[in-house]
Amino acid sequence: MFGDWSTWSSCIVSEWGGVQHRGRLCKTKLGRSANNRCVGAGSQSRSCSKVTRDFRIRKNLLDLTDEELHDFIQGFTKFKQDHSLFGYLNIAKWHGWPNRCPWYKHRIEEHKNGHCSWHNHPMFLPWHRLIMVQLELGLSRHMKNKTLGIPYWDWTDPTYKGIPDLVKNPTIYDPILKEYVPNPFYRTYVPSHPLVNNQTLYNYRAVERAGFLRHNLMLKNIIQAVNMPNYEFFDMTEIDAHGQVHNCMCVSKGGNCTYSMLKTAYSCFDSAFFLHHSQIDRVYALYQKLRHVLGTQDWTKESFLDAYKREHFFDFFNRPDVSGSWDWPMSPFCNASMNPSYVTLNENSWTVANSYYYQELFGYKYDSFDFARRDWKLLLKDLKQSYESKYYGKVVPYFSHLGKDLGEISHQSIFFTGDCTV
pLDDT digit string (tens) for 104-135? 988 888 899 999 999 999 999 999 999 999 99
DSSP state of 217: H
- 352 has pLDDT over 90: yes
pLDDT of residue 238: 67
Question: For the domain 60-413, what is the CATH code?
Answer: 1.10.1280.10
Q: Is 336 in contact with 345 (CB distance < 8 Å)?
A: yes
Q: What is the largest CA-CA distance in the chain?
A: 71
pLDDT of residue 107: 83
pLDDT of residue 393: 63
Q: Quick one: which of 243, 278, 279 has its CA closest to 261?
A: 243
pLDDT of residue 198: 61
**Between 300 and 255, where is the model more confident?**
300
Report CA-CA distances (Å) from 406 to 23, 354, 368, 410, 416: 37, 35, 21, 11, 16
Read off the pLDDT of residues 144-178 as tens digits, 9 standing for 90 and up: 999 999 999 999 999 999 999 999 999 999 999 99
pLDDT of residue 138: 98
Span 335-351, mean pLDDT? 95
Amino acid at 260: S
Q: Is 139 in contact with 79 (CB distance < 8 Å)?
A: yes
Q: Is 73 in contact with 166 (CB distance < 8 Å)?
A: no
Percent with pLDDT over 90 in the chain: 74
Mean pLDDT of the chain: 91
Q: Quick one: which of 257, 332, 260 has its CA closest to 103?
A: 332
Choose the most confident range, by mean pLDDT, from 39-53, 188-202, 389-403: 39-53
Class of residue 197 by CB neighbours under 10 A (exposed 0-12, middle 13-18, buried 19+) = exposed
pLDDT of residue 280: 97
Distance of alpha carbon 106 from alpha carbon 113, whole angstroms: 9
Amino acid at 363: G
